[in-house]
Amino acid sequence: MKGEEEVRKHVKILQLAGVESLLSNGGKQELPLSSIEGKMTWLFFSAHWCRPCRNFTPKLVQIYTMLRNTNKNIEIIFISLDHDEASFLDHFKSMPWLALPFNTSLRRKLCSHFGIEHIPALIPLSVTPSGGLGFEDDVVKLVEEYGVDAYPFSANRRGELEAMDDARRQGGKLQELLGCKDRDFVISADGIKISIADLTGKIVGLYFGAHWCPPCRTFTKKLVEVYNELKILRPGSFEVIFISIDRSKEEFQASLSAMPWLAIPYSDTARQELTRIFAIKGIPALLILGMDGKVLKTDGRRAISAYGATAFPFTESRVSEVDEALRKEGDKLPRRVNDPRHSHELELDMAKAYVCDECLQKGRHWVFSCKQCNFDLHPSCVEESK
């Protein structure tokens, strides 16, 4: 077979590179190079001193074990960039695959050939048309993003997976986006299962956050206010789904305990998939799905923080309407006022939230404030004083 013939060439190429044998069983057993014949092979450049390597290795072990258990004919060869042989062996003992014997000159040659500039690096071994030692791009990021689904870790497979992500993102089908083959529900804080089908026709916010993140805890309080307000003003029209970025199930439960909405179960890989599909780079983040299940362009976090429930249903056009209405309202107000209840001049300002010192009611947006004292008045209270 063509694949087996290429692997036989791999063996010859490794021999030409100076590799004479491989190690297994944590370095206790020596194997001939022929032991990789007939197997798809990757070179794994790593080191025990490297924290990203130590974090990535358990993920790779899990994927390797899953693939071997499903009879995939694969092999990984560990190439150590450790400082000494003892560190190499300490790192290798956690790996179920093979390794090159600790050899600093050989690893320098291989690092130079493959252009290794950072680790961890996972390089699919291939053969060039001329019979040289060829390779594809480092696939560590691909494996981190897609896990075992990334197999066989090729550029073609990445294209397929990205197309599948795009279909889920653009498809408007909530079950395909939020669920999976074995789960057609989301959960409430007390563990009650709510069918994903019940979300159809609602505006849905996908809230990415974590308990360890102070800005998330602050934004959660604001989102709770808006969520509860909309339950009264527009019952059954808005729902939030929490996608946890927490580091443990205990943190997840702590996050959810402060939330009146629903969540993807912590144990479900859909959390990581949604983070990848929507390219979430920072938290808190709030994506808004329209009633058709498709993502709106609106920045949900900004819309909620700036305008609260007034901006519902959080479409771009509605946010623009609210923004324009506020601008016109501000244009009608004086820039400065003098009020008999305060000794200093009050200036017109914009605030996300405040408490009026006259009526003691909460206010938003336009406010007359004293720049020297902590004194605020609703514009309507200033007008009444006139």
Q: Confirm whether pTM is higher than 0.85.
A: no
Tell me which DSSP letter residue 335 carries. Answer: S
What CA–CA distances, in Å, run from 351 to 129, 362, 363, 364?
Answer: 66, 11, 8, 6
The answer to whether 184 and 219 have CB atoms below 8 angstroms apart is no
Tell me the pLDDT of the chain (386 aa) as tens digits. Answer: 444 454 455 555 566 566 778 999 888 888 888 888 778 889 999 999 999 999 999 999 999 999 999 999 999 999 999 999 999 999 999 999 999 999 888 888 888 888 899 999 999 876 444 444 445 678 999 999 999 999 988 888 999 999 999 999 988 899 999 998 889 999 998 889 999 999 999 999 999 999 999 999 999 999 999 999 999 999 999 999 999 999 999 999 999 999 999 999 999 989 999 999 999 999 999 999 999 999 998 899 999 998 899 999 999 999 999 889 888 888 888 888 888 888 888 988 888 778 988 888 888 888 999 888 889 888 888 865 55
> Token pair of 23, please?
């190690």
The answer to whether 52 and 121 have CB atoms below 8 angstroms apart is no
Cβ-proximal residues to 226 (8 Å cutoff; 6+ apart), any chain: 304, 308, 309
Written as one string, the DSSP assignment of 195-246 is EGGGGTTSEEEEEEE-TT-HHHHHHHHHHHHHHHHHHHHSTTSEEEEEEE--
